[in-house]
């Protein structure tokens, strides 16, 4: 039996919901999901340069949030190059 130890952490309700749903849908035990996720996260932090790590949460100033909202409300049409790339991708089975 592998060496194990118990830890305690508080997580957001939304993460707990995702963990529960994924565990139930796949049959993978929650402790395995958490162990794998922590291992992958910590290895990435050690092995990858800081500038390629995308933070899971972004904090925006009020001004920046207003600019993002404005851009999302009136998106720029895709360029012809983007349309070509998107059309070249194989279709997915996801909605």
Question: pLDDT by residue (tens digit) across 18-57?
Answer: 999 999 999 999 999 999 999 999 999 999 999 998 888 8
Tell me: pLDDT of 94 over 90: no
Please state the domain extents for the chain.
13-88
Cβ neighbours around 87 below 10 Å, total: 7
Dihedral over alpha carbons 20, 34, 38, 52 (to 10 degrees): -30
Tell me: pLDDT of 1 over 80: no
55-88 tens-digit pLDDT: 888 899 999 999 999 999 999 999 999 999 999 9
Residue 95's pLDDT is what? 52
């Amino acid at each position: 039996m592998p060496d194990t130890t118990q830890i305690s952490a508080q997580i957001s309700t939304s993460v707990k919901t995702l963990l529960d749903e994924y565990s139930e849908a796949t049959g993978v035990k929650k402790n395995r999901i958490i162990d794998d996720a922590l291992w992958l996260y910590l290895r990435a932090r050690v092995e990858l340069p800081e500038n390629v790590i995308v933070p899971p949460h972004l904090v925006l100033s009020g001004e920046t949030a207003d600019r993002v909202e404005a851009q999302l409300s009136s998106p720029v049409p895709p360029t012809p190059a983007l349309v070509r790339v998107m059309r070249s991708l194989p279709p997915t089975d996801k909605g």
